[in-house]
C-alpha cells in the first residue's frame, strides 16, 4: 500500500472515531434521565447534584465517555441492581472524575479521587456496593465529601431523611 492510501485510511479512521465520539456524547446527554441526589456529610453539610441515571447495560457501558465537560453540580449514578464488588475504568473518558462507591443503604464506602482520563487501570470498590456516583474530579475533596457520608436518593434503601 502506498503512503497516500495509508494516509487516507488514517484520515477516514480518525473521522469515524470523531463522529462516534460526538454521537455517543450527544446520545448519553439527550436521552438522560436527570434526578436530584443529595450527599449528607457525617460532620454536617448537604450537597445537591443533578445526576443522569445509568441503569441499563448500554447506559452503563457508555457512562460519561467522550464528554469534554460537565457542570460542577452534575454527575452520573450507576444503579447496579445488585450488591457486589465492582471496578470501573476511564477508557474513552476525557475528564477526570471522582468515583464514589455506595452501599445499598446509601453510605459512601470508598472514594477514588481524580481518576485519570483514558486510563485502563481498574478502580475497585474494595467492598460490595450497590451503586457508583461519578462527579467531576476534585469535587469530593472540594466539598468535604468522605467515606461514611450518606447519599440520599430513592435508589438507596432507608436513605431518605
Q: Walk along the chain (161 residues) and give the pLDDT tens digit of each residue.
A: 565 665 555 445 444 444 444 444 433 455 567 999 999 999 889 999 999 999 888 888 889 988 999 999 999 999 999 999 999 999 999 999 999 999 999 999 999 999 999 999 999 999 999 999 999 999 999 999 999 999 999 999 866 65
**Residue owning grid cell 460532620:** 43
How much is the pLDDT for 6? 54
Q: Which residue is associated with the grid cell 494516509?
A: 7
Q: Look at strands 74-84 and 46-54 and give their pairing.
A: parallel
What are the boundaries of each domain within the chain? 33-152
Q: Is beta strand 74-84 parallel, antiparallel or unpaired with respect to 129-136?
A: antiparallel
Q: Judge whether 46 and 110 are in contact, CB under 8 Å.
A: no
Pair 134, 76: CB distance under 8 Å = yes
Q: Is the domain covering 33-152 a CATH 2.60.120.1140 domain?
A: yes
Record the pTM.
0.78
Greatest CA separation for the chain = 67
Amino acid at each position: 500500500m502506498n503512503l497516500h492510501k495509508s494516509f487516507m485510511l488514517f484520515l477516514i479512521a480518525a473521522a469515524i472515531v470523531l463522529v462516534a465520539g460526538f454521537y455517543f456524547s450527544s446520545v448519553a446527554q439527550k436521552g438522560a434521565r436527570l434526578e436530584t441526589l443529595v450527599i449528607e456529610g457525617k460532620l454536617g453539610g448537604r450537597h445537591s447534584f443533578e445526576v443522569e441515571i445509568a441503569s441499563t447495560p448500554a447506559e452503563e457501558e457508555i457512562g460519561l465517555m467522550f464528554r469534554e465537560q460537565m457542570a460542577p453540580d452534575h454527575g452520573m449514578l450507576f444503579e447496579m441492581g445488585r450488591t457486589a464488588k465492582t471496578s470501573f475504568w476511564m477508557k474513552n473518558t476525557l475528564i477526570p472524575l471522582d468515583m464514589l462507591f455506595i452501599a445499598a443503604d446509601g453510605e459512601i464506602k470508598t472514594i477514588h479521587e481524580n481518576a485519570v482520563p483514558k486510563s485502563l487501570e481498574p478502580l475497585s470498590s474494595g467492598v460490595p456496593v450497590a451503586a457508583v456516583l461519578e462527579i467531576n474530579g476534585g469535587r469530593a475533596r472540594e466539598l468535604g465529601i468522605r467515606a461514611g457520608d450518606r447519599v440520599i436518593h430513592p435508589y438507596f434503601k432507608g436513605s431518605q431523611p
